[in-house]
Amino acid sequence: MAIPSSSAHQLLFCLLVLVFTPFPSHSADPDPLQDICVADLNATFSVNGYPCKPASQVTSEDFFFDGMSKEGNTSNVFGLGVIRADVQTFPGLNTQGISMVRADLAPGGLNPPHTHPRASESGVVIKGKLLVGFVTTDNVFYSKVLTAGEMFIIPRGLIHFQLNVGEGKALFLVAFNSQLPGVVTDATSLFFTTPPIPNQVLTKTFQVGDEVINLIKSKLAA
9 is in an annotated binding site: no
Residue 85 CB: number of other CB atoms within 10 A? Answer: 22
In angstroms, how far is CA 133 from the centroid of its own chain?
A: 14
Which of 5-10's residues contact partners 24+ apart within 8 Å by CB, and which partners? Answer: 8/149
114 is in an annotated binding site: yes
Domain ranges of the chain: 73-182, 192-221
116 is in an annotated binding site: yes
pLDDT tens digits, residue range 144-202? 999 999 999 999 999 999 999 999 999 999 999 999 999 999 988 999 899 999 999 99
111 is in an annotated binding site: yes
Return the SS3 of 215: helix
121 is in an annotated binding site: yes
Largest Cα–Cα distance in the chain?
A: 60
pTM of the model: 0.83
**Cβ-count burial of 59 within 10 angstroms (0-12 exposed, 13-18 middle, 19+ buried)?**
exposed
Residue range 73-182, CATH number: 2.60.120.10
